[in-house]
Amino acid sequence: MTALPGSLWLIGCGNMGGAMLDRWIADGVDPAAITVVTRSPREVPAGVTHAITLPETRPAIVVLAVKPQQLDVIAPDLAPRLAGVPLLISILAGVEEAALARRFDAATIVRAMPNLPVAIGQGVVALHSHGSDGNARSTAEALMQPLGLVEWIDDATLFDAVTALSGCGPGFVFRFIDALAAASAALGLPSDQAQRFAIATVQGSATMAAGSDASPATLADRVASPGGSTRQGLNVLDEGDALKRLLAATLAASERRNAEMAAAARG
């Protein structure tokens, strides 16, 4: 997307909001169409307007990128300025569309869940909306396209699960890389070299999985020759479904937290 259908306000510009902003500019979005609104001064890309107070004119698109816990701090001042705004996109984890609709009078509300690799254009963005305006939905999707894989989620009740997988997933993958490197260092490999090897191994394996018609499970079995060293290692991970059970518990914990935040946002 290189042209916006009007001005865009980015409310909040932390790690995720800043990453999204950088990708939009890199994709050719006109910086002059974007206003970043934060509570304190911060640097923004050249040509982008920064404001501490809300502008007087109404935007065409608003992207909420504050922390979920800040929703009721910003809503009283923000809501009157957004009355009738054509498109409101929220990346607030755990905050449901109905909770947003109670606070903001927007023609179309879209929930978006980007993850951290959007900073390099290789993220995942899940979208959901009850709105039926095709133009608004297309605008939201086009705005997210430069960030990576973009897919709509039909069932709103699955959004917490998606958040646990792709939203929280990079943190789990980073932890896995660290553990893989630490295990290798325990076998005697210098720790800095172990980390480089672990990162490259995960990166190459993910790229291979993304380009293969075979499932990751099939690829794992193809790597593991009967009686070989890979098979011996997989036996540890597979015994009693140890790895699957660990990740199921991990994602379930994240999903529960999302549900707790949703309940808090409902008031």
Whether residues 81 and 144 share a domain: the answer is: yes
The neighbouring-strand residues paired with 63 are 10, 89
Whether residues 139 and 33 share a domain: the answer is: yes
Per-residue confidence (pLDDT) for residue 5, from 0 to 100: 86
**In this structure, is residue 159 part of a structural domain?**
no
Chosen domain end from 121, 153, 185: 153
Residue-by-residue DSSP string for 28-88: T--GGGEEEE-SS-----TT-EEESS--SSPPSEEEE-S-GGGHHHHHHHHHHHHTTEEEE
Walking along the chain (267 residues) 10 residues at a time, the average pLDDT comes out as 84 95 95 95 94 92 94 94 95 93 96 95 96 93 96 93 94 98 98 98 97 96 94 96 97 93 82
Number of structural domains, the chain?
A: 2
Per-residue confidence (pLDDT) for residue 1, from 0 to 100: 56
What is the CATH classification number for the domain harbouring 188? 1.10.3730.10
Per-residue confidence (pLDDT) for residue 3, from 0 to 100: 77
Cβ atoms of 130 and 106 within 8 Å: the answer is no
Residue 177 CB contacts under 8 Å (≥ 6 apart), including other chains: 195, 198, 199, 202
Separation of alpha carbons 208 and 124, rounded Å: 18
Residue 138 sits in which domain range?
Answer: 8-153
Whether residues 176 and 117 share a domain: the answer is: no
